[in-house]
Amino acid sequence: SAVISQKPSRDICQRGTSLTIQCQVDSQVTMMFWYRQQPGQSLTLIATANQGSEATYESGFVIDKFPISRPNLTFSTLTVSNMSPEDSSIYLCSVGLAEKLFFGSGTQLSVL
C-alpha cells in the first residue's frame, strides 16, 4: 500500500502566475505520474517522473509549461507555469505499487 500526500488541495490563481503542486509518498517508488483531469473528463497523462532523470512528457505537454522535479524516490513537484484559464483543471499524481495504482487526492486549480 502507498499513501500519497498532495498539496495544495485547491487554489485560485491569477492569469500569468505559476503554481507548484507537491506530492509526497510514504514508500520509495521509481516512477511517479502526473495527470490532468479537465471538468467532466477522464484523466490525461501529463508526464512520467523518474528520480535522477528528466521527466518524460506526453504529446501536447512541454517542460517549459509543466516543469517537474523528482529529487528523490518519495517526492515530486509539478509546476503549472504562466497560467491561463484553460489550465483550470484537477491535477493528480500517482504511483504504481504491488500491482495497484495509488493517487493523490488531487489539486483543484482555478485560473481567473
Partner 1 sequence: KNEVEQSPQNLTAQEGEFITINCSYSVGISALHWLQQHPGGGIVSLFMLSSGKKKHGRLIATINIQEKHSSLHITASHPRDSAVYICAVSPNDMRFGAGTRLTVKP
Tell me which residues touch partner 1 (CB under 8 A).
33, 37, 41-45, 48, 58, 90, 92, 94, 99-103, 105-106, 108
Among residues 16 and 91, whose Cβ is nearest to partner 1? 91
- To the nearest whole angstrom, how small is the minimum distance from the Cβ of residue 79 to partner 1? 20
Return d(Cα 2, Cα 19) in angstroms, integer: 25
Among residues 67 and 96, whose Cβ is nearest to partner 1? 96
Return d(Cα 96, Cα 39) in angstroms, integer: 25
CB-count burial class (<10 Å; 0-12, 13-18, 19+) for 22: middle
- To the nearest whole angstrom, how small is the minimum distance from the Cβ of residue 52 to partner 1? 19
Return d(Cα 95, Cα 7) in angstroms, integer: 16
- To the nearest whole angstrom, how small is the minimum distance from the Cβ of residue 105 to partner 1? 6
